[in-house]
Every structure is written in C-alpha cells, then in structure tokens.
Amino acid sequence: MELFRFLAFLAAVLPVAYGAPTQATNSLHPKLLAAMKRDLGLDAEQAAARVSRDISASEIIEQLRTTAGNSFAGAWIAEDGTTLNVAVTDQALASEVTAAGATPAIVANSLSKLQDAKQALDNIDIEQPKTLATDSANVGIAAYYVDVAANKLIIEALSGSTAHAESLASQVGLAASEFEVKTVETMPTTFATVVGGDAYYIDNVARCSVGFSVTTGFVSAGHCGTAGSSATTTSGASLGTFSGSVFPGNADMSYIRTVSGTTLSGYIDGYGSGNLPVSGSTASATGASICRSGSTSGVHCGTVRALGATVTYAEGRVTGLTQTNVCAEPGDSGGSFYTGAQAQGVTSGGSGDCTSGGTTYFQPVNEILSTYSLTLVKA
C-alpha cells in the first residue's frame, strides 16, 4: 500500500468518570484489540474498558493538578489498570483527590521540585570526564526522568557511570532520598535505518515511518530528516519536503509538507487488518495503555512509564520525551503512538527489539502540532 493512502490514525472514545467504560470503546479496531491481547493480556471487553479509563484519567489529573497547585506531585495509573493514583504533598488535599475518583498518595516531593531538578540537569553538561582508567564502552548517562510513583528523579546510567550519576544528582541539589540511579546495559539509539520496507524514504536513502497526517502533510521524528530533505513513497513517488525538523535538543520532531494531490486521511496502516482511525490527541497519563504502529514491526502495545524524559542518543540529548515499555525496531522511527482513539506521539528511539522486548521513547504529538501550527486530520 502506498504511504499516502494510510497517513494517520484512530477512532472516537468519549472520556467519562474514571472506571466506567463507554460504549464507543466497543468499536476498537480488531487489529488494536489483537495487539492489546498479545502484549497486555486483555480480551476485547477488558481492552475497551482499559482504553476508556486511560483516557478519562487525563481529565481527572488535570482537574486535580489545578486544585492542588504547588502541592501536586504527579499521577499514575496502577499496573492493574483500574486505579488512578494522584500524589500530593498536603494531607489536607486527600479528600479532594478521593472525591474526584482517584486514590490519594501523600509524598514528600512536589512534582515541580523534581521537574526543576531535571531541568537543571538539562541545562548542564552531563558528559563524564574521560581518564586513562575510563572504559568508554561502559560509560554514559542513558536517560533521566521523574518517576511519579517513586516520587524521585530516576537517572539511568551504564555501569561505569553510576558514581557520575550520583554526583550529577547532588549537583542539582537532590538529597539521597530524592533520586535513584538505575544501571542499564546499553545506550538508547534512534530507529532510523536504510533497509527497505513499507514506509517513506528520506533523500532516497534512509527509511522511517509516518506518524500522523495533518491538513498540509504529516509529522514524524526529527532525526529522520532535516529541513529541505525530500520524502518519497516506497515506489519513489514524491511525497514532499521536510519543512521543519528538531533533533537533538528540546524535541525529536519533524513536519513534512506534502505535494499537491497527496491524499491525507485520518487513518494509520493496520498491517493486514484494515486501517485504524483517529479522533483526537488527548495525552495519556503514566501507567496508561498505549500502542505503536511502525513499518518494521507493525502494531505493538504496552504502557506509559514516564513523562518528560530526557534521553541521551549518540547525536545528543533530547528532552521532553515519553518513556514506554512498547518494543520497536529500526525503521519504526517516526511511527505513531496512540491510546484508543487518541494520538499520542511519534516514535523516537530506545533499546531492545520486538523479540526480546525493550524500552521506547516517543515525541508527544501535541508539541509538534503547536510548534508548527498544524491541525490533526481525523477520521
């Protein structure tokens, strides 16, 4: 199928009070249901209920974020998929959290405090000084993000950089109880590749996956191409040109303005089971179910693990990404992340693969839309 015939995404789901699924979720596409069954162990009824709860949780979180003000400490959906937890630093707010339909958690650190520390890390050089004794293969800060459930800043580092990570945490003013260093085996990589496949090509060399269609083109990952790069279909027909691109830095996003005559529809390729429609872009909470579609590995699902993560790629740091446990592989870059009917973002990079599993990050789509003043195409 030509790329321009399947630019975009998903079907309508109406938010309701947390825990009560809507009838609209019963229309989830069979391909999406199959992926959620395979990756999350949910049958059709459970998947529909989960998607409805995940989307409605976003409204409750925003309501309580406003109510709690500086005492707001983040929110997350528990692993059981049925409990929305909202953390606050003021015990007096617990009753308001409960009244809104969430479970209160009283913690020591506000979300703003931990986010400020993360921002401070973003603003300094985190490279570890090299010495004769340094094993460069074991050195590197892979990523860092706020874990709202743990109420800490998490720093992921290779084994040779754990002491350096601790030093960085101290440098931005965090006490030992306010951060955690996790050892990882590999550094993240982006998922661009030169292997052919059913996707779009950049300058007739690299391959990426389309994210979402907008009224004048489509969006994808920034590392896929720079402003002025060409985009073509798998058969070599012109799709358009990269009009804007950011990578590395404060985003991994791009906007490709398509040529006249390109069909831009509100669907994404379902990889053998029809196309999946999209109806909006309400952002999902930590712990929410989420799925990804890409030209190499097709459709896979998992959950959101952290918001606002900073990731260190070989090309440099990228801030503001969302961490998930959904797998991805080379060529999936730029592809779409979505929760039920709601577009979430475009695939950036990560580690692992869809055989052994892994961690994947995505660029939130709403930032792309606002940066380039774009309008999402809906089914």
Whole-number Å distance between alpha carbons of 163 and 178: 16
DSSP string, 67-110: HHGGGEEEEEE-TTSS-EEEEES-GGGHHHHHHTT-EEEE-SS-
What is 3-13+190-371's CATH number? 2.40.10.10
- Residues 6 or more apart in contact with residue 41 via CB below 8 angstroms: none
Put the strands of the sheet holding 72-77 in their side by side order. Answer: 72-77, 84-88, 103-106
Bridge partners for 240 per DSSP: 231, 258
Going from the C-alpha of 61 to that of each of 6, 230, 340, 373, the distances in angstroms are: 33, 41, 18, 26
Please give the model's pTM, rounded to 2 decimal places.
0.86
Residue pLDDT, tens place only, 211-220: 999 999 999 9
pLDDT in tens, 234-283: 888 899 999 999 999 999 999 999 988 888 888 877 676 667 888 999 99
Confidence of residue 17 (pLDDT cuts 50, 70, 90): very low
Catalytically active residues are: 223, 252, 333
* pLDDT of 24: 41
Label residue 197 by pLDDT band (50, 70, 90). Answer: very low
| pLDDT, mean of residues 26-45 | 88
* Whether residue 22 has pLDDT greater than 50: no
Q: Where in the chain is the domain with CATH 3.30.300.50?
A: 23-106, 111-185
Q: Could you tell me the two tokens for 214?
A: 């907008």
pLDDT at residue 171 above 90?
yes
At 190 the three-state DSSP class reads strand
pLDDT at 351: 95
The arrangement of secondary structure in 23-106, i.e. its CATH architecture, is 2-Layer Sandwich (3.30)
Q: What is the pLDDT of residues 69-105, one digit of tens each?
A: 999 999 999 999 999 999 999 999 999 999 999 999 9
Cα dist from 295 to 8, 69, 178, 282, whole Å: 13, 42, 40, 24
- Fold of domain 111-185: GMP Synthetase; Chain A, domain 3 (3.30.300)
Find where tokens 């379902």 sit: 270
**Which residues of the chain does CATH 2.40.10.10 include?**
3-13+190-371
Which of 166, 102, 90, 93 shows the shortest CA–CA distance to 128?
166
348 vs 333: CA distance, rounded Å: 6
